[in-house]
Chain A
Amino acid sequence: MSANAQMATKYKNNFLKEVEEQVEMGEWVKMCMQCGVCSGSCPTNFHPGWEHPPQEIFMMIRAGKREEVLTSPSMWMCTSCYNCIVRCPRKLPITHIMHGLANYAHRLGVAPKMQPTRSFAKLFWNNCVKTGRVNELKLSVGLYFKDGLSQGIRNGMAMKDVALGLLKAKRLNPFELFGGHKCKDQNGIHAMLKKARELEEKRKALKAAA
């Protein structure tokens, strides 16, 4: 059984309980009084990818709309601007719940595959853990080519003036493409991240099994 199916069976129709127990900060969802301040304050609600504002996501969780919530791109749209947290009359940690939900959907393997923030997050992570430093050149190149070669070239051409500007201002080093700068103790970094992941997985497995 997939991780997703396992969880769905475990919590049967009680998605709110699932969120409370499995999602980081999920226990806050029931505190929402549906006032709408977070949604009205969220800058991403100008964006076409904005399906459900946070307030609606919280209501959907309570209404048991598991599929719709977990596969939604909405929480991936969060820019972590913290406007909602600052204004929420109930002090819900909305930003963190959004990230918690996105992460949970990702772990269960049901997050939208082509969601750009998700691809970027993965790209960024893989990029920075390799050497312990972010290689911005590789990161942008990776991002340009994520939808194939020809689209990548087109993206690159569209950005070439910016790239030239950066080059002139010595903010972009073309040799970064070959290896690039690293932190001194790469093995140390890898060991640390491995340990952190182990602890995290253990904690989450315990939660899931509980």
Chain B
Amino acid sequence: MTAIVATNETILVVGGGISGMTAALEAAETGKQVVLVEKTAALGGRTSQLYRYFPKMCHPTCGLEINLRRLKANPRIKVLTLAEVTGITGGSGDYTATVRITPRYVNENCTACGECAKVVSTQVDDQFNYKLGKTKAAYLPNAMAYPQRYVLDASIIGTAEAEKAKAACKYGAIDLDQKEETMQIKAGAVVWATGWQPYDAAKIQPYGYGRFKNVITSVEFERLADPHGPTRGKLLRPSDGKEAKNVAFIQCAGSRDENHLRHCSRFCCMASLKQTHYVHENFPEDGKSTIYYIDIRAIDRFEDFYQKVKADSSVTFTKSKVARISLNEATGNPICHGVDTEGYHRYANEHDLVVLAVGMEPSVKGMSIPASVAADSSGFIEADPLNGGIFGAGCATNALDVNRSVQSATAAALRAVQVVNKVARAEA
């Protein structure tokens, strides 16, 4: 049984992405007790699934590493992974959250030596790589996972595979008897930082995602570019493993669209601009990127980044939202059809690979958060006095980039700290 000491002066942070980690650290570093609850097996969220991030093109590893170091050094933060908040009752200063913990089948003794993975042969979908590849059923969630602990996939529990893994572990770290458990956690304030999920591209029917192998999403493209990804960082397209040298990016795929997401997802123009770098780097001689856009929204200080990409002769900008994609059966190439706004010319352009700059929607929508909070028409949490001591942070509140997520998380932490300070004063 996992033991957690939590009181009305504890701050509960739900979601362990960059926003949740930031909120937890900021609150803990002012001296508060924090419980950080993360649904998956490791912290980092979607940021850890990026290859590099704008505007400075750093690897997410560096940003996350600093945070992890702060986290490890701070005894006031208790991290729960594979844990999901399923209900919250009470009010500001006095909440009780119900948390469901899924078994990992590996305990704290794990040294991440990897012996268990060597003996297991079952393969499962690699969630970290958006299922673009497979991973062993005994796996480390990702190379820089925190906690650095393996996970046994539930599908092998009760099979000989699990026993093999257990026998291979020299540290007694594998515990096949772990069961799902539910616990109650008290908290004075809650920071809700459950982040975002990519819009389901298959719903944009004319683009053929799911029907055409070489139409992928921007999040999948990040994984292709990453040396830890399924193609070891080579831009190889899914249908035939051919090098994708001529890449199209379709902006607003599912955003700014009354039939899909109404809002502008804000970061996807920058994401595609960034991803043209990946093409250029992989194929300095003959890489080509084409960005199909309605208008480029590289807000405020990102303008410079945009201007640099514009100056890159390997990148073409076509002002037009692609109407539909068809397939060249012989080559496997997707063909983008549309009419361009600057001159109204029809085009039918063939590319090696099409990347849909998919929109961002809240991963837990306002209405499905297990407590009453105000949300906008897209499901993002709004700041509202009626939310009491529950504060949204990061992409749970809006489509934000990492920098703005961190700002929003710091603000949420401050508000949560004020609530528990009030509780402390009342109890003193």
Contacts and interface: CB of A to CB of B under 8 A. Distances in A.
B337 A40 contact: yes
Nearest to B259: A89
A52 interface: yes
B156 interface: no
Interface residues of A, number: 19
B92 interface: no
A140 interface: no
A39 B294 contact: no
A73 interface: no
Interface string A15-51: 0000000000000000001111111110001000000
A21 to B, nearest CB: 25
Nearest to B258: A91
B259 A87 contact: yes
A87 B205 CA distance: 10
Nearest to B346: A45
A35 B339 contact: no
B259 A56 contact: no
A39 B252 contact: no
SS class, residues of chain B in contact with chain A: loop
Interface stretch (B53-61, B183-191, B316-324): B316-324
A52 B258 CA distance: 25
Nearest to B321: A35
Given A34-B294, A35-B320, A40 B338 contact: yes
Interface string B243-265: 00000000010001111100000
Contacts of A88: 258
B321 A37 contact: yes
B344 A55 contact: yes
A38 B338 CA distance: 9
Interface in B326-381: 337-341, 344, 346
A40 B257 contact: no
B206 interface: yes
A90 interface: yes
B258 A40 contact: no
Contacts of A87: 206, 259, 323
Interface residues of B, number: 21
Contact of B339 (A33, A55, A89, A91): A55
A36 B339 CA distance: 6
Contacts of B339: 36, 39-40, 45, 53, 55
Contact of B338 (A36, A89, A90, A91): A36
A62 to B, nearest CB: 13
Contacts of A52: 344
A89 B321 contact: yes
Contacts of B321: 35-37, 40, 89
Contact of A39 (B257, B319, B344): B344
A49 B338 CA distance: 18
Nearest to A39: B339
Interface string A53-89: 1011000000000000000000000000000000111
A89 B258 contact: yes
Contacts of A38: 323
Interface in B221-273: 252, 256-260
Given A40-B337, A53-B344, A89 B322 contact: no
Given A89-B256, A90-B258, A36 B341 contact: yes
B323 A39 contact: yes
Contacts of B256: 33, 89
A38 B294 CA distance: 13
A124 B228 CA distance: 66
Nearest to B322: A40
Contacts of A55: 339, 341, 344
A33 B297 CA distance: 14
Contact of A41 (B258, B259, B319, B323): B323
A78 to B, nearest CB: 15
27 contacts: A33-B256, A34-B294, A34-B341, A35-B294, A35-B341, A36-B319, A36-B323, A36-B339, A36-B340, A37-B323, A38-B323, A39-B323, A40-B321, A40-B322, A40-B339, A41-B206, A41-B323, A53-B344, A55-B344, A56-B344, A87-B259, A89-B256, A89-B257, A89-B258, A89-B260, A90-B258, A91-B259
Interface of B: 206, 252, 256-260, 294, 319-324, 337-341, 344, 346
Q: Which A-B residue pairs are the 5 nearest by beta carbons?
A: A40-B323, A40-B338, A39-B339, A89-B257, A35-B321
